[in-house]
């Protein structure tokens, strides 16, 4: 077992519950503390290792916890995502930025060995080339979530340059998982559709049928996150977040993939305010930089992910 004591903030979310389990296999269950603002631990976090109630924006409480528990690494996952963020931009900005800026300070002062903070394809905007969007390109986000992620990337880069902090980050595409639900994102339809296909045999999609977005299966996202964090420091040559890609599909294409397993499945479309957000994001991502720097490779495509999602969700 590696000797680190890890704190995951916002562990009860879609990424957190799976990341905590993966980290516990590397560092040992007792050395990975899951924390969330919710009093009650997510069922996947219950009785499987230490759990703490922590508000990501309460820097004093987080510092006190880090010092008391001799934490050496922190993963900060708490965030307000794109769709929820547009409903209350000031709150989204506050939560997303306060939590990061306070943690970066604590990390320098308490000499943490590493920090992980997720970014998103939401950093890109309508002025970015939308196909095979490069690592370095025009970046003018138009959602508060995207603005906070881009600002956050710049802060991470600043803390690395100024203080030598080892902070690493990934621009996640839409993440699809069966163990835990997403919340408040524009790409959430690609999870809901599987649940509805199994439950009701039909789905009304909040994006139009030809809306292509970059997507990734959670297994790949967790493996990629851990590979980035485990990579030797000299491989991490960008301290902005890495583009990471696995697949790109539209609602019509995911529906067709589901029909391979459930031929009677039907979909209709009722685009809402999330369509405009999706229209400003890339259709596909170029992740050559991550592939070259630390050997990133995805494993799941749409067909393989669909088979796995439907098998696991039916078992549930």
Binding site for ligand AKB (CB under 6 A): 81-82, 120-122, 145, 172, 174, 185-187
Q: Indicate the residue among 4 and 286 with the shorter CB distance to ligand AKB.
A: 286
E strand or H helix at 203 = strand 202-205
Cβ-count burial 250-279 (b if 16+ within 10 Å, e if not): bbeebbebbeebeeebebebebeebeebbe
Cα 188 to the center of its chain, rounded Å: 12
> What is the nearest approach in angstroms of ligand AKB to the Cβ of residue 177?
11
Question: Tokens standing for 193?
Answer: 């559709």
Candidate list 145, 159, 194, 203, residue with the active-site label:
145
Q: Indicate the residue among 49 and 85 with the shorter CB distance to ligand AKB.
A: 85
- DSSP-derived letter for residue 30 is G
Q: In what order do the strands lie in the sheet with 167-168?
A: 51-53, 32-36, 6-9, 73-76, 114-116, 167-168
Residue nearest to ligand AKB (CB): 185
Q: Indicate the residue among 31 and 177 with the shorter CB distance to ligand AKB.
A: 177
- Residues in the chain, how many? 316
Q: Indicate the residue among 10 and 174 with the shorter CB distance to ligand AKB.
A: 174
> What is the nearest approach in angstroms of ligand AKB to the Cβ of residue 30?
31
Annotated catalytic residue 212: no
Sign of CA dihedral 245, 189, 35, 86: positive
Catalytic residues: 145
């Amino acid at each position: 077992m590696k000797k680190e004591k890890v704190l995951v903030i916002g562990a009860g979310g879609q990424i957190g519950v799976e990341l905590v389990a993966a980290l516990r296999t590397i560092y040992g269950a007792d050395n990975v503390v899951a924390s969330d603002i919710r009093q009650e631990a997510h069922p996947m976090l219950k009785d499987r290792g230490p759990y703490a109630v922590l508000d990501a924006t309460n820097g004093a409480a987080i510092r006190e916890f880090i010092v008391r528990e001799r934490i050496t690494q922190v993963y900060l996952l708490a965030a307000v995502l794109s769709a929820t963020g547009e409903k209350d931009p000031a709150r989204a900005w506050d939560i997303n930025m306060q939590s990061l800026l306070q943690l970066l300070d604590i990390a320098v002062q308490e000499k943490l060995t590493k920090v992980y903070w997720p970014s998103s394809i939401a950093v890109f905007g309508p002025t970015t080339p939308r196909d095979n969007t490069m690592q370095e390109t025009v970046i003018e986000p138009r959602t508060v979530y995207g603005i906070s992620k881009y600002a956050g990337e710049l802060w991470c880069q600043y803390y690395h340059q100024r203080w030598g902090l080892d902070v690493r980050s990934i621009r996640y595409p839409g993440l699809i998982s069966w163990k835990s639900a997403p919340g408040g994102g524009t790409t959430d339809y690609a999870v809901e559709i599987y649940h509805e296909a199994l439950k009701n045999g039909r789905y009304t999609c909040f994006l139009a049928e030809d809306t292509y977005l970059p997507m990734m299966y959670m297994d790949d996202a967790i493996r990629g996150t851990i590979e980035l964090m485990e990579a030797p420091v000299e491989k991490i040559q960008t301290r902005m977040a890495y583009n990471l890609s696995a697949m790109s599909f539209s609602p019509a294409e995911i529906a067709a993939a589901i029909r391979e397993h459930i031929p009677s499945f039907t979909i209709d479309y009722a685009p809402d305010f999330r369509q405009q957000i999706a229209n400003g994001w890339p259709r596909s991502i170029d992740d050559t930089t991550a592939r070259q720097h630390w050997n990133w490779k995805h494993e799941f495509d749409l067909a393989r992910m669909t088979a796995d999602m439907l098998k696991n969700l039916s078992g549930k």
